[in-house]
Homo-oligomer: A and B are copies of this chain.
């Protein structure tokens, strides 16, 4: 079943939401000090509809570019484009009332219409927010108007063509508006895969992945989207940048790397040419337990530096492992069995770190790659607990955000953030962020989600009872504290969520004054009137 439109107040669709997890609720209730009953989010009628700040003439002129059915000022359309899926977004959308919305939503059919829209909006000083799947968790698609009179959201949902699949060079040209399942469906009949599976896979788009430098769950194997993009078309107010696919080049600075991560502030990505891999004929997802997060991390470093890392490499710290055991309903007798099994093999469950490793590939290859990985992990006390828990992880791999909706409905603040650093600095960064979060959230877990030869991504989840008076203020406080810990301890402010509005103030710690000035210099040539996604990134 193809995914439809997401719920405006939360993730995904009602009919796809998994049922609540009673084990986890009970366990969390104990840790957080009582969880309330589920409260339904605001109804459509609970929102007030903001005035459309575009004159009838402007609307007619915009319509003339995209056609009548390419422009909407309808309330439902504006609401659906009002916010991403970050925690503060969902707090506001669950509450209803006054929510900022774009003045209109535009649905161009092709790159020429995008170019026409941007020229028009540039001339009339209308801010433009590019919108792919609407899954940003960092305020990347907030309808901010900046210094402009009005703001429109440009939805890439109609840019859905697959204009070429080259089986020899293993390249495909994909429309920016294609969602994950559509991409994989189109490539499957060529025996190919993009191998890009972010948790947002079912709803996020090719253009969004590139604009935010997305990483997927299997990116330790297939590569991040940065590694997979070979060509790109960016339509900006000043013109179009068309970069053809080339395997490698020494022809000056790499402009693809300016478009990657540009988050709609340089223009609209309309088409992307990506590198593909052979579609796997077999997969194996297997869980392991390490005696500690520290030893597991050392083993993961070994995997990456020997070049034998699985396609999926995930290692939970002791606290996140505890969370998963609770969610799996592992307590009492069942837990004792597991504890005895692990203890017999040298991994005491009292301080266990759960790992999920996944291999995908041609028939007959995963067994050999698994053997290489197991050999590299020798001496770190890894104990396999089989493919059952690995398959369970794979089944639920896109469902995390539904759990968040359920918990938010019960008055729980639940949020995630990620960073990356070198292997040598990872313990320092881990301790700093954990401490910052722990001061304000009773439940904090972390996992290594991606490994590289020089370092890894640390992905944190934290939960606390919601401050009912000021839930967004509560979030801002803990978020600021965590971000300051990250930049203070030498981590990148984001490994794959992006900058958006939320991380904008921290970019200077990485790029410096000159770096930001250089990016602004480049952007000014593409968007001289500053209409593109104001208030984000730079």
Contacts and interface: CB of A to CB of B under 8 A. Distances in A.
Contacts of A259: 253
B169 A511 contact: no
The listed residue with most B CB atoms (<10 A of its CB), out of A258, A423, A425, is: A258
A310 B255 CA distance: 29
A498 B424 contact: no
20 contacts: A166-B424, A213-B249, A214-B250, A215-B248, A239-B512, A246-B420, A247-B422, A248-B495, A249-B492, A250-B495, A250-B497, A251-B493, A251-B494, A251-B510, A253-B257, A257-B257, A258-B518, A278-B305, A518-B525, A518-B526
A243 B452 contact: no
Contact of A253 (B168, B456, B519): B519
Interface in A315-370: none
Given A215-B248, A252-B538, 8 more contacts: A166-B422, A168-B301, A168-B422, A236-B514, A243-B515, A250-B495, A255-B515, A514-B526
Given A213-B249, A248-B224, A261 B255 contact: no
A97 to B, nearest CB: 32
B248 A450 contact: yes
A238 interface: yes
Given A247-B456, A450-B248, A495-B250, A255 B423 contact: no
A252 B510 CA distance: 10
A20 interface: no
A253 B211 CA distance: 9
Given A422-B166, A512-B242, A252 B519 contact: yes
A464 interface: no
B213 A244 contact: no
A522 B511 CA distance: 13
A126 B243 CA distance: 35
A412 B225 CA distance: 47
B258 A258 contact: yes
A202 B414 CA distance: 56
A317 B418 CA distance: 49
A238 B515 CA distance: 11
A457 interface: yes
Contacts of A215: 248, 250
Nearest to A518: B522
A226 to B, nearest CB: 7
A181 B249 CA distance: 25
Interface string A220-247: 0000101000100000101111111111
A145 interface: no
Given A168-B423, A246-B421, A422-B247, A517 B252 contact: no
A263 interface: yes
A425 B236 CA distance: 29
Interface in A273-323: 275, 277-278, 301, 305
A260 interface: yes
A115 B46 CA distance: 60
A238 B517 contact: yes
A455 interface: yes
A190 B351 CA distance: 34
Contacts of A266: 518
Contacts of A482: none
A168 B305 CA distance: 10
Interface string A195-220: 00000000000000000111100000
B244 A510 contact: yes
A193 interface: no
B249 A510 contact: yes
A302 to B, nearest CB: 11
A409 interface: no
Nearest to A250: B213
A246 B30 CA distance: 38
Contact of A245 (B226, B230, B305, B422): B422
Interface in A494-526: 494-499, 503, 507, 510-515, 517-526
A246 B257 CA distance: 16
Interface string A143-166: 000000000000000000000001
A389 interface: no
Contacts of A450: 248
Contact of A457 (B248, B255, B518): B248
A439 to B, nearest CB: 25
A43 interface: no
A48 interface: no
A84 to B, nearest CB: 15
Nearest to A245: B422
Nearest to A240: B514
A290 B513 CA distance: 54
Contact of A247 (B171, B251, B421, B510): B421
B230 A454 contact: yes
A455 B492 contact: no
Given A424-B169, A514-B526, A252 B499 contact: yes
